[in-house]
Amino acid sequence: MAVDPLSKPRKPDIARGAKASRSPWREQAESYFIHHRKVARDSASRMWRTPVASLMTWTVMGVALALPVALLLLLTSLQGVSAGWESGARVTAYMKLDASLEQTRKLAEEIGADGRVDGVELIDRDRALTEFRASSGLDDALDYLDENPLPHTLLITPEESARTADGVASLLMFVESMEGIERVQVDLGWLQRLNAMTDLLARAVWALAILLAAAVVLVIGNTVRLSIESRRDEILVAKLVGGTDGFVRRPFLYTGAWFGLGGGVVAWILLQLSLWWLSGPIERLAGLYSSDFSLSGLSFDGAFALIIVAMLLGWLGAWIAVKRHLDDIEPGEIAGG
């Protein structure tokens, strides 16, 4: 007999003995971290032991996470488009047909002097016609016209500070009230529609994101519940020999976080794949509208945030399962009759 395990019986005051620790603080903290590392590794290796089931859970999570993130990225790209348009917003003023070039020039100077205006470009009616011929392809038909049907035109670029919907609108009114102007046009309509649509879309995406996040939490909760069921004996024994709730919960919380990690990585892969798959067609489409619209992917920070959020959701799901199912397991039943 090497060492008698009971040669030094504890002092009888159980409660006091329970709290006092013999090992120094450092050693205590060290073994705490060793334990955490062991539990984390153990939970991960359990996941590897059932690769197909784990992969399926990751994929479900990945899809549920990728969908709202993809929509958010699309939304960001769309907001980029409307912002880009706003910065290039121009007001087009058509002169009356009988206005002379001289009169138009004076008007252009007057408008150019306004504080809200960055610059004015005058397109006289001859140049307008040439450009129209070139761009419309109606070359021959235009030859039949006796005279040029186009008026002189002023292209007004607003000052940076006036490039808001309100600013452009007030500039519009100002120019409209001037003499010799037939009609002023700015295509704010579709911009406002796009803005309204992206607002609506943003809300829809967030609602969807919240729903899918809840789905992720429930999926993980259910998976962890099954894992709790399958490790029931272990939980009973751990509680029997004095494992605290924290001790018993820990492996399952790690399991949830690992599921989250896997789900986040799958989501990132799905996002990159669909971006790669869509980028060609989108470039072509944007080219047709001579827009510089492009789908932006996830930045490094974004990918990191995605994975962290996924891990938190996994942890939360596990925590709910643990709260609901683990605390109920009491070793009373194993004591038997």
Partner 1 sequence: MIEFRQVTKRYDSDHTALRQVNFHLDRGELAFLTGHSGAGKSTLLKLLMVMERPTAGEVVVGGQALNRLPRRQVPYIRRHIGVVFQNHQLLFDRTVFDNVAMPLEVMGASPRDVGRRVRAALDKVGLLSKEKMNPLQLSGGEQQRVGIARAVVNKPPLLLADEPTGNLDPKLSADIMNLFAQFSQVGVTVLIASHDLALINEMDRRTLTLDHGNLIAGGTPLQGGFRGR
| Residue 147 contact among partner 1, Mg ion, none, beta carbon within 5 to 8 Å by kind | none
- Answer for which of 50, 170, 247, 294 binds partner 1 (CB under 8 A) is 247
Nearer to partner 1 by Cβ, of 15 and 288: the residue is: 15
φ/ψ (deg, to 5) at 10: -70, 160
Shortest spacing between CB 24 and partner 1, in angstroms? 11
Name the segment binding partner 1 (CB under 8 A); options: 4-12, 251-259, 296-304, 312-320.
Answer: 4-12
In this structure, are residues 104 and 178 in contact, taking their beta carbons and an 8 Å threshold?
A: no
The reply to whether 288 sits near partner 1 by the rule CB under 8 A is: no
Q: Is 238 in the site for partner 1 (CB under 8 A)?
A: yes
Which one of the spans 18-26, 129-137, 184-192, 279-287 is the region binding partner 1 (CB under 8 A)? Answer: 18-26
Told to check if 337 binds Mg ion by CB under 5 A, we report: yes
- Is 52 an interacting residue with respect to partner 1 (CB under 8 A)? no
- Regarding 113 and contact with partner 1 (CB under 8 A), the answer is no
Show the DSSP H helices in the chain as ranges.
14-19, 25-49, 51-87, 101-112, 125-136, 139-143, 165-176, 188-230, 232-240, 245-288, 300-321, 332-335
Q: Are 259 and 227 in contact (CB under 8 A)?
A: no
Q: What is the DSSP string of 6-43?
A: TSSPPPS-HHHHHH--SS-HHHHHHHHHHHHHHHHHHH
| Using rule CB under 8 A, residue 226 touches partner 1 | no
Of partner 1, Mg ion, none, which one does residue 242 interact with (CB within 5 to 8 Å by kind)?
partner 1
End-to-end CA distance of the chain: 35
Q: Which is nearer to partner 1, 21 or 170 (CB)?
A: 21
| Choices 32-40, 184-192, 204-212, 329-337 (CB under 5 A): range interacting with Mg ion | 329-337
CA distance 219 to 317: 8
Contact yes or no for 314/211 (Cβ under 8 A):
no
Cβ-contact 179, 104 below 8 angstroms? no
* Residue closest to 205 by CA, chosen among 300, 79, 313: 79
Minimum distance between the CB of residue 230 and partner 1, rounded to whole angstroms? 10
Alpha carbons 294 and 63: distance in angstroms, whole number: 23
Cβ atoms within 10 Å, residue 54:
19
Which H/E stretch holds residue 97? Answer: none
Site pattern 27..46 for partner 1 (x: CB under 8 A):
xx-xxx-xx-----------
Compute φ and ψ for 118, nearest 5 degrees. -90, -40
Smallest separation, CB 331 to Mg ion (Å): 15
Which CB, 241 or 288, lies closer to partner 1? 241
Binding flag, residue 336, partner 1 (CB under 8 A): yes
Question: Binding of partner 1 at residue 240 (CB under 8 A)?
Answer: yes
Q: How far is the CB of 49 from partner 1 (least distance, A)?
A: 11
| Under rule CB under 8 A, residue 121 binds partner 1 | no
Which chain residues interact with partner 1 by CB under 8 A? 1-15, 17-19, 23, 27-28, 30-32, 34-35, 233-234, 236-245, 247, 330-332, 334-337
Which chain residues interact with Mg ion by CB under 5 A? 337
